[in-house]
Amino acid sequence: MSRAGLSTLMVYWDAMNIYFSCSITGGRHDQQNYQAIVNHLMQLGHQVPTAILADANVMALENVVDPREVYLRDVNWVKNCDVLIAEVSTPSHGVGYEIALALSLGKPVFCCYQAGRKVSKMILGNNHPTLQIGEYQNLEQALRAVDCFLDGLS
């Protein structure tokens, strides 16, 4: 079997708990990309406890949850994840907080964003050793970048 084939098998066999972070209250116009990334991760066999955050109907669900419950839930998910993947094309205070928390815990973090979008210099200028950043032109490139990030962890 080729090395590339072995790497693909390793992704399936070494399923991870992945925190997917995306904008909710900051704007949902990238929701289809969020959903595609989450679906891709789950098809690879990974657990994504935050998959609901990529759903088109998340606002209705999040509106009935107390802010303290959201904070405690999300912090717990970050603490228990193996890696954090964030789509940062749409600015979000919560996503920035989650990224910083994951980095402070030594978690590998991958931030991806659409080419031409304005991304915080706090992310782009961060040289933390467990942070990787990827720009993409289209969804296919985004999924390849996610795969490369995950492959680099094994």
Q: Per residue in 71-83, pLDDT tens?
A: 999 999 999 999 9
Which pLDDT does position 6 carry in this prediction? 38
61-76 mean pLDDT: 87
- Indicate whether 122 pLDDT > 70: yes
Q: What DSSP letter does each residue of 7-29 carry, written as one string? A: HHHHHHHS--BEEEE--STT--T
Residue 119: exposure state from Cβ atoms within 10 A (0-12, 13-18, ≥19): middle
pTM of the model: 0.88
Question: What pLDDT sits at residue 32?
Answer: 94
Domains of the chain: residue spans and CATH: 3-153 (3.40.50.450)
9 has a pLDDT exceeding 50: no
3-7, 55-59, 118-122: segment of lowest average pLDDT: 3-7
Contact call for residues 132 and 27 (beta carbons, < 8 A): no
Q: Judge whether residue 4 has pLDDT over 80.
A: no
CA dist., res. 107 & res. 102, Å (int): 5
Does position 140 have pLDDT exceeding 60, yes or no? yes
Q: In the 8-state DSSP scheme, what is residue 45?
A: T
pLDDT score at 65:
82
